[in-house]
Amino acid sequence: MPPQGVSSYKSVGGMGRIYNAFRYSVLGLRAAAIHEAAFRQELLLAAVLTPLAFWMGRTPVEIALLLGVLVMVLIVELVNSAIEALADAISLEHHSLLGRAKDIGSAAVMLSLLAAAGIWAAVLYERVAG
């Protein structure tokens, strides 16, 4: 039994915790791939752009930057999808705070995409102009 004030659903640690954390992460990625069209689209974009990153990047740092922003977009989309799923589980009726949470999550995705586009454009410019 867990200590008082600690959820019985929380693990206490050890290799079992690491295994469960990995398993839950894989389940989350699978759920996003199955249920979230935006995540699938961004995953496809990342799959297409990943080989291009190795051609465009002239240094290991540039390659890491190009790949890192692709991963960042996927991370932000996962968080946004989690917010949307939680909001929908709470209520499907209009609620201004739930709507605001969804809008803010969407804004985060937009900013991550703009950041990724800016970085890719800057590296492409250096590749072409340099």
Residue 13 and residue 59 share a domain: no
- Are 53 and 5 within one domain? no
In terms of domains, do 60 and 108 share one? yes
Are residues 59 and 28 located together in one domain of the fold? no
Per-residue pLDDT tens for 2-50? Answer: 567 767 666 667 898 999 999 999 999 999 999 999 999 999 999 999 9
What is the number of structural domains in the chain? 2
Residue 8 is predicted with a pLDDT of 66
- CATH number of the domain enclosing 86: 1.10.287.3610
Q: What is the pLDDT of residues 82-118, one digit of tens each?
A: 999 999 999 989 999 999 999 999 999 999 999 999 9
| Domain match, 89 and 105 both | yes
Q: What is the pTM of this model?
A: 0.88
Residue 14 belongs to domain spanning: 1-35
62: annotated active-site residue: no
Q: Quick one: 96 and 74 in the same domain?
A: yes
Instruction: Fill in the amino acid letter for 73.
Output: V
Rounded distance between C-alpha atoms, residue 124 and residue 126, angstroms? 5
29-42 pLDDT, tens digit per residue, is: 999 999 999 999 99
Burial (0-12, 13-18, 19+ Cβ within 10 Å), 76: buried
Residues 65 and 23 reside in one and the same domain: no
The rounded distance, in Å, linking the Cα atoms of 74 and 33 is: 11
Give the number of other Cβ atoms within 10 Å of residue 112's Cβ: 21
Catalytic residue (one of 77, 84, 93, 126): 77
Instruction: State whether the Cα torsion 77-81-87-88 is positive or negative.
Output: positive
Token pair of 101 as six digits: 């949470």
